[in-house]
Structure 1
Amino acid sequence: MVREKRSKFIAAKVNINQNIFSSDKEKLITLIPKAINKKAKLEKHSWTWQFTDIEFLNMDNKEYIFGNLGKSRFESVDVVDGDKTKAYQIPNPVATSASFFYDVVDEVLIFEEGPINKNEYMKSFEELVYASNIEIGEIKINLIPIKDQIYKEIQSIEVLTKIEFDIIPPNMIEKDTYKSLNQIVNDENAVRMKMVFENQDGLNKEGDYITEGIEMTSNAYAETKAYGYNTVPKAKGKGRKKQRTRFFSNDSVHQRKLNVNDKPQLLQKLKKFALEIVNILN
């Protein structure tokens, strides 16, 4: 009996960034699948990164891409030759890869975490797409945090002393829930905006800009980092003391653990997960 192998898959959003204010941004989005399929190679340190095993899928009249993003390099291992140990050069590059499922229309990316760190994976994905077609410009991949969890974690901080937002312009989907911040980004023609609020005596957690920043974060157009403290009893119950705490939105994102042994079943589950994310974003 084959042992079930389960992997963690994380939801993210692919965003046109460098050329977001281009009049052809809709066309640029359509170039991303071609850039993936080009299978360009990217040399980083001792590793060669590339897309492999690319498949274009039509599932329920919607286009998806399934494949792997991996890194490889030549390595050697010690082998025993008679009564001696010597290095043996493995003839083919040794690879580490992780699969992905990309919704071509809605720019939702579901990728496997584990074999490769999620931040390294997203960064290399961004760089490979750019290297494959510089016309697209730099893209930005953001994880998709769970909105209710963001609010819950921030509200649980008794005194919120600092909150940071790293914002990018929305791609295609613009909502009234973050209208003011989006207007600032558009007015300044900015492809990235960092916003920090601080007050050691405590910020207003329900402030308009904080609320909009959280809304942009939950729609994958920002990252949030919150800091503060709670007051807790001192040892032996003699008064209270401050206990520092923090929350990062990228630590609470939409994810699933899926069986990867059965490929047809896996593809159906990835499609279902991607559609759930599209509904959340829309």
Structure 2
Amino acid sequence: AYFVEYLDTSVKTIDDIEQSMKIPVLGVIPQKVVPLNEARANPAHAEAYRVLRTNIQFSQKFKAGKTLCFTSGSMGEGKSLTLFNLGYICGQLGDRTIIIDTDLHRPRQHRMFGVSNKVGLANVLIGEAELDDVIHKRVFTNLDFLPSGKLDGGVHGLLDTQRMRSLIATLSERYDRIFFDAPPVIGVSDASVISREVDGVMLLIQHRKYPKAVSERAKGMLDNMGVNLLGVVLNNINVSRDQGYYYYHQYYYQSNYTTKSRKGEA
């Protein structure tokens, strides 16, 4: 077991990130999370997103910020679900919030919102649709949604336009929080484009999934772009088992009065 652990070069602890990558971890998301609007969602999981919201809100690098982009190093790290749940919590806490799916190649947000992706951002950017006609308003409390939309032709370079910048400015006048679900930064240029247009960027890393070099490369690319990288969200952690998260686990469950916590106190 020790030899296997030795060979495992993935991100395992908060120290792995904060010491080697020189960037703070602003959120820790546990395993087995589902969209918080679903009946099967564990109410205790909402606390992880409340903590994330607070840490972003009080980040010295995000003072008075409104627009925030979420990206990752590679696919399948849980970026879209994390952003959806953060937006859901922000709405529940009174923030006028909109989520915009800017992952034009692999959109996922519309599935969690339960709406069509037939028209959306892409259609607005080429002049096929009006912004107000494609925003799904008040899908949940204080939470609107702008899907990516679909085009018959390619979408390359679509986000790097004056029309996109004008759209961001318009939404900034209407909402307290504008969240962009961007594609992974490695291999897709759209992430770099949108990251340069927002007030802050969050990098999501899935615990123990990819070699640490992948996350380090993603962080290096964002640094080279000159974006305002606020910090990291560490996702999919078994907080009751993984070394280094014991105290987080104790606080997390005791503060939410879960059955598991009560059993541990017995």
TM over 0.5: no
- Structure number having the greater strand percentage: 1
> Rg: which structure is higher?
1
User: With CA pairs under 8 Å and 6+ residues apart, which has the higher RCO, 1 or 2?
Assistant: 2
